[in-house]
Amino acid sequence: MYSFISNQSKIEYLPTVGMEYYPVTYKLSDGNVINVHIHDTCGQERFNAITESYYKKGDGILLVFDITSQKSFDKIKDYYVANIREKCKKNIPIILLGNKTDLDDKRVVSQEEAIDLAVNEEFV
């Protein structure tokens, strides 16, 4: 999330505990400005009640998985998709993102597998 927000790489990695909040302002090419409030919710089960409260209020969801971890991808497929569909606004836009693409030599989740999930679930 750090490199997405700051456009810089960060060598050390600290996992999200609970939830982190990132307000970001983007200036679009047409001159319009949009404010985005990103709530980085961790994937740990003990925080599910907290993260579910954020889904309900969201206007869009980014589902991020680690391309070097099948477990990370399976959790998206097996838990988050159904949970989001149940708890969120109908037709909320969902985007699937694979992170750690700089570690492609350690990739275990193929692009095809991710694309299949996104197509089958009708993500944006």
User: pLDDT value at position 29?
Assistant: 94
Q: Is the dihedral of CA 68, 108, 44, 5 positive or negative?
A: positive
Q: For the chain, which domains are there?
A: 2-120 (3.40.50.300)
Q: What is the pLDDT of residues 51-60, one digit of tens each?
A: 666 667 778 8
Do 92 and 60 touch, CB atoms closer than 8 A?
yes
Largest separation between any pair of C-alpha atoms in the chain: 43
Cβ–Cβ under 8 Å, residues 54 and 80: no
- What does DSSP say about strands 94-99 and 61-66: parallel, antiparallel, or unpaired? parallel
What pTM was computed for the model? 0.72
Q: Which residues of the chain have pLDDT under 50?
A: 1-2
pLDDT value, residue 20: 73
Task: Answer for the pair 32, 42: CB distance below 8 angstroms, yes or no.
Answer: no
